[in-house]
Copies of this chain bind each other. A is one copy, B any other.
Amino acid sequence: MTNTLFKKHQKTLEGGLTAITERGFWTVYPEIPSGKIYGATAKADGQSAYEARLNKPFTLNQPGSTGTIGSETSPYGFELGITYPKVDIDKLLPQMQAELPAWRNAGIETRTGICLEILDRLNEASFEIGLSNMHTSGQGYAMAFQAGGPHAQDRGLEALVYAYRAMTETPATTRWVKQLGKQPALSVEKTYRIAPRGIALVVACATFPTWNSYPGLFASLVTGNPVVIKPHPGAILPLAITVEIAQQVLVENGFAPHLVSLVCDEPSAPVTKTLATKEEVKLIDFTGSSAFGNWLEDHARQARVYTEKAGVNSIVIDSYDELKPVVNNLSFSLSLYSGQMCTTPQNIYIPEAIFDEVAQALAGSMTKLLSNAQGASDVLGCIQSKATLARLEAATELGEVILPSKVHHHEHFADAQLRSPLLLKVDAKDEDTYMQEQFGPIVFLIPTKNTTQSIELARRSAKAQGAITWGIYSTDDAVLEQMEDASLDAGVALSCNLTGGLFVNQAAAFSDFHATGANPAANASLTEGAFVAGRFSVVQSRRHF
């Protein structure tokens, strides 16, 4: 059964293994929500499946339930009405731990086949998961489908492929033969087995519940670690569906369903700190605030902790042939999902000499982009949390308003919270204002003496506060090189002169890395070697033959 799954998905695995050495364009799960690809009824079926989840209990195949929990509200303005099992983690964790040896001893190929099958099933559920993502994160429909479905699956697959490669770089067995002059040779047979670390905890965020979770989930699971997912209380549904699918595939293949489990909490009674410091928990993947990420790194000392935290992304505008494509590209990047991506630029450094020209062009481009109601709601999505709304309202005090944030209305959801980005001018001296993350649609335009100062401020900001993306616009190769060297110092991925259909906040699986682990925004780069290597160890046994 299980080797059948490995064979079934072997081409995907092999494609992935090639892709990670080439890092060119490669994708498995189609990103277009089209009936031609997913089947004529897929969209309607997904809609029905999603609707059938609403206003009832969501059950899972795992031990330790002691009641129900959950009160998600869609940022589009209604309550989901779903409850989830409330879990006694002191009952759940020992039972997960008890299943570790069976999962470990199943071996690399069996685990890999099962994980690849889970990914395929998740892909089939992309419309349902997309809608659950939309109504928890507040993303627009198309983005919710892509980021919550195929793009998240691609990232999960990418992490799985890296982990598979890491596990198989050491052979399963070898023969070591040492010739000692004229004496008989020393002949030793050695076996190398993969030992998982223990239970892996994935702490998810509300804005990208699946995209940010799947790399940790699949990297830990395929290396033999049982995984417990702790969703954000505002974005449980996409992960509950994920866990349900994983449990189904596990059971079909003779494994305990609770090798992948879900533990929910509510804001009034958070469980993450308790869960994260349990002795059995040996791996933690976290996406969220710097304060909580730092707390985990400091306190969950029994575990290896992979964090993605806050950051301040920067754009440096130096020079351009044409301004219009520059500001058009930027205004889309700034507006997409109302700036609630960890890759959205926050600070734009512009030399004084061209500041007014650029600022006005950007404001004009943004206004035009969002002038059509349907288009605006597709691009902006909703503001996910009340905290972000409050932050946005307070932000007008932080600088001179270049373009106010506008309330937009959604044609189907009257209570949806749609906001366009606020553009503020702040003085380069006001570092306390702009050198900290202002999560949401808040953008600082900062006039500088020259581009050298711009790059220096971006570098200092990234080293102190972290950053995941930088962009630069310059017609001068020497300036691009100067920025590239600064990006090496600060450990930030750089995009140069994007003016077409690629945006600084987009990262393609199997080609772009997400974060570097080299500045305070993250201590790991999602999916690559260092992200997977610590999730298992190699234990050898040797004897003469």
Tell me if A298 is interfacial: C-beta within 8 Å of chain B. Answer: yes
Q: Is the CB of B195 within 8 A of A516?
A: yes
Tell me if A512 is interfacial: C-beta within 8 Å of chain B. Answer: yes
Q: Is the CB of A487 within 8 A of B539?
A: yes
Nearest B residue to A483, CB-CB: B541
Q: Is the CB of A543 within 8 A of B495?
A: yes
Q: Is the CB of A171 within 8 A of B21?
A: yes
Q: How far is the CA of A307 from the CA of B91 in the complex (A)?
A: 34
Q: Is the CB of B511 within 8 A of A174?
A: yes
Interface centre among A297, A511, A539 (most CB of B within 10 A): A539
Q: Is the CB of A497 within 8 A of B171?
A: no
Stoichiometry, copies per complex? 2
Contact with B along A188-200 (1 / 0, CB 8 A): 1010110101000
Q: Is the CB of B540 within 8 A of A494?
A: yes
From 158 to 184 in chain A, residues with beta carbon under 8 angstroms from any chain B beta carbon are 166, 169-171, 174-178, 180, 183
- Chain B: minimal CB distance from A389 (Å): 33
How many A residues, CB 8 Å from partner?
69
Residues in chain B near residue A513, CB distance under 8 A: 192, 538, 540
From 477 to 511 in chain A, residues with beta carbon under 8 angstroms from any chain B beta carbon are 480, 484-485, 487-489, 491-502, 508, 511
Known: A493-B542, A518-B537. 13 other contacts (CB 8 A): A101-B485, A166-B529, A176-B508, A176-B511, A180-B501, A195-B516, A480-B543, A494-B539, A512-B540, A517-B537, A530-B534, A530-B537, A533-B533
Can you name 23 A-B pairs with beta carbons within 8 Å?
A: A23-B171, A23-B174, A23-B176, A24-B174, A25-B176, A183-B501, A190-B512, A487-B539, A487-B541, A491-B537, A493-B542, A494-B539, A495-B542, A496-B543, A497-B543, A497-B544, A502-B544, A512-B540, A517-B537, A518-B537, A518-B539, A529-B529, A533-B534
